[in-house]
Amino acid sequence: MKNIQNLLFDLDGTLVDSSRTIGVCIEYALGRLGISAAGDLPVTAVIGMPLLDIFRKQYEMSDEQADSAVAHYREHYDRLDQAGSEVYDRIPEVLAALRNEGFRLFIATVKPTAVAEKVLQDLGLRTFFDGVAGASMGHERRDKASIITHALSSFELVPAQCLMIGDRDQDVIGARENGLSCIAVSYGFGSRDELDSAGPDHVVGHSAEILALLVNPSLTEQSNAQ
């Protein structure tokens, strides 16, 4: 951890609990296509997946149907204006402290970049970040590994100096594919089994533990040993 200078944060499930907003938008999109959401997986099971893949795989839509569903979803998401989304406990304080320690902070999210920018602005988090890398509005860049690659290239970051922080196995896997270390957070949408199976460098249960690991890892190790 001592060579880390740049922190790449996931958005949904890591900084923001957006489950209610996303759930409402998925239901709206399904309703516009005449598809019932009854009996489906809980929304937390699909948050973090590329939106197109949610509709293709979870609801077995054709490419044309999935494209329409994505358009309806985004239409309703824009109208809601973050209603139902909440910043996780102590996130602003942790981000401020990390910046004060000299870390550069970035976003790497499956949300399209423009959407992620608006979410961060609306929730008062944008000023903490040096840059935002998200999915493309089209189909080209939507999996987490390619988004992390895009972030590294766009912001001219050295992988060995970067750390990914996220709540799903795709965050861990995407980090590994790009040569990054990774902290997984268990307070988000991924289960502990999912995270452990992916093999992150560390798992934390609260945002404050991210700060402790990066700023005073020796104290964290002593605490875990007791």
Q: Is 10 among the catalytic positions?
A: yes
Residues 175 and 164 sit within 8 Å (Cβ to Cβ): yes
- Give whole-number Cα distances, 50 to 4, 77, 127, 170, 201, in Å: 28, 15, 26, 11, 24
- Give whole-number Cα distances, 84 to 14, 23, 51, 124, 204, in Å: 16, 10, 19, 15, 25
Residues 23 and 63 sit within 8 Å (Cβ to Cβ): no
Q: Return the H-helix or E-strand segment holding 164.
A: strand 162-166
Q: Spell out the residues 6+ positions from residue 44 whose beta carbon is closer than 8 angstroms to its own.
A: 19, 189
Structure tokens at 191: 């289960």
Residues 172 and 198 sit within 8 Å (Cβ to Cβ): yes
Catalytic residue among 10, 17, 167, 169: 10
- Residues assigned a catalytic role: 10
